[in-house]
């Protein structure tokens, strides 16, 4: 069974460093995605719509629709989304441990009005 681990970063450098660490720990380049892939925010056009739909697929049901919208809004406002597809049991925790070293944003700890903003 495949699952996806997602993390939000305020800074591109931290997100890229986390992606590099995952690669060096043996995760394949095809399983690691960074959006946007460059150090600039997505334009406020259809890219936001596409990101929202991609995230809804990650969260896979209406129960988590608010989470998908929160992550999409963070990216729309300039944050960086790192996603890692894992296929083996235990890999998800390993990904979380690696990514955690680079201090991803905990959107739930931000006030609701700030969950999509960079600090």
Residue 101: its pLDDT value, please? 97
- Using DSSP bridges, classify how beta strands 32-35 and 3-9 pair: parallel, antiparallel or unpaired: unpaired
Residue 113: its pLDDT value, please? 55
Determine if the peptide bond prior to 36 is cis (ω within 30°). Answer: yes
Provide block-wise average pLDDT over 10 residues at a time, the chain (119 residues): 87 96 95 82 49 53 62 83 90 95 88 54
Residue 48: its pLDDT value, please? 47
Residue 49: its pLDDT value, please? 44
Write down the pTM of the prediction. 0.75
């Amino acid at each position: 069974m495949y699952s996806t681990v997602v993390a939000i970063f305020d800074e591109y450098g931290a997100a890229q460093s986390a992606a590099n660490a995952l690669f060096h720990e043996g995760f394949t380049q095809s399983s690691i995605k960074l959006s946007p892939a460059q150090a600039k925010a997505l334009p406020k056009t259809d890219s936001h719509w596409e990101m929202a739909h991609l995230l809804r697929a990650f969260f896979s049901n209406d129960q988590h629709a608010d989470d998908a919208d929160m992550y999409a809004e963070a990216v729309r406002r300039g944050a960086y989304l790192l996603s890692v597809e894992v296929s083996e049991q235990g890999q998800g925790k390993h990904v979380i441990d690696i990514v955690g070293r680079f201090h991803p944003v905990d959107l739930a700890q931000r006030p609701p009005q700030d969950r999509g903003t960079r600090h």
